[in-house]
């Protein structure tokens, strides 16, 4: 339940809940409240203010916290799992899971991916397979890593948060 405030409604005092999401013009002038996550809903923000995201159709199922790669899928701007083994660089990440064909919300690199687990604070992480990360960089002298990509993706802030970095991958 949102916080409530006292107002006059038809001449009588009444407790009214703050608005946690906007339906548009009909909600003009109303007092707002944060949602259950302690943040303002995106619908309450003016254009240009809010999360920096890109919407793209998921060409495969994508799990929460995974790093993703933008691509053209038969003329449709799409997103799939990034993968160091097949040249799919990490262009961003998702914080929630998306089914194949769903419109995914992708956060660009240089943000904080807070949907991970098992990270070591202060450790550097690199792109792994299937949208995952690894603390072990690929060995460029190992012949088995030929044609794989090595991409630094960020440093762990906590066990669940990775401060991402928009670095270019190197093909080994």
68 touches 82 (CB < 8 A): yes
Domain boundaries, the chain: 4-44, 54-171
Read off the pLDDT of each residue in 126-145 and give the average, rounded to a whole number. Answer: 96
Read off the pLDDT of each residue in 1-12 and give the average, rounded to a whole number. Answer: 82
Per-residue pLDDT for 20 more than 70? yes
Could you give the CA distance from residue 139 to residue 3 in angstroms, rounded to a whole number?
A: 55
66 touches 131 (CB < 8 A): yes
Q: Mean pLDDT of all residues in the chain? A: 92
Residue 79 CB-density burial (10 A; 0-12 exposed, 13-18 middle, 19+ buried): buried
Instruction: Supply the pLDDT for residue 68.
Output: 98
Q: Pick from 166, 143, 142: which is nearest to 154 by CA?
A: 166
Higher pLDDT residue, 140 or 42? Answer: 140
Task: List Cβ neighbours of 42 (8 Å cut-off, separation of 6 or more).
Answer: 50, 51
Instruction: Supply the pLDDT for residue 113.
Output: 97
Per-residue pLDDT for 84 more than 90? yes
Q: Cα-atom radius of gyration of the chain, to the nearest Å?
A: 21
80 touches 131 (CB < 8 A): no
- Per residue in 33-79, pLDDT (tens digit) is 888 888 888 788 877 777 789 999 999 999 999 999 999 999 999 99
- pLDDT-derived band of residue 145, with 50, 70 and 90 as boundaries? very high
- Per residue in 147-159, pLDDT (tens digit) is 999 999 999 999 9
């Amino acid at each position: 339940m949102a916080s409530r405030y006292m107002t006059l409604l038809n001449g009588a005092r009444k407790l009214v809940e703050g608005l946690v999401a906007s339906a548009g013009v009909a909600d003009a002038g109303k007092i707002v409240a944060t949602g259950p996550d302690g943040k303002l809903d995106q619908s309450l923000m003016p254009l240009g203010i809010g999360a920096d995201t890109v919407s793209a159709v998921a060409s495969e199922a994508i799990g929460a916290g995974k790093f993703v790669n933008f691509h053209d899928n038969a003329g449709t701007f799409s997103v799939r799992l990034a993968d160091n083994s097949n040249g799919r660089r990490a262009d961003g990440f998702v914080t929630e899971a998306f089914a194949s064909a769903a419109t995914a919300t992708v956060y660009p690199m240089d943000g904080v991916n807070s949907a991970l687990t098992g990270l070591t604070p202060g450790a550097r992480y690199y792109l792994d397979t299937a949208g995952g990360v690894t603390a072990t960089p690929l060995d460029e002298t190992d012949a088995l890593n030929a044609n794989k990509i090595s991409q630094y993706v960020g440093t762990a802030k906590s066990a669940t948060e990775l401060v991402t970095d928009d670095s270019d991958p190197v093909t080994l």
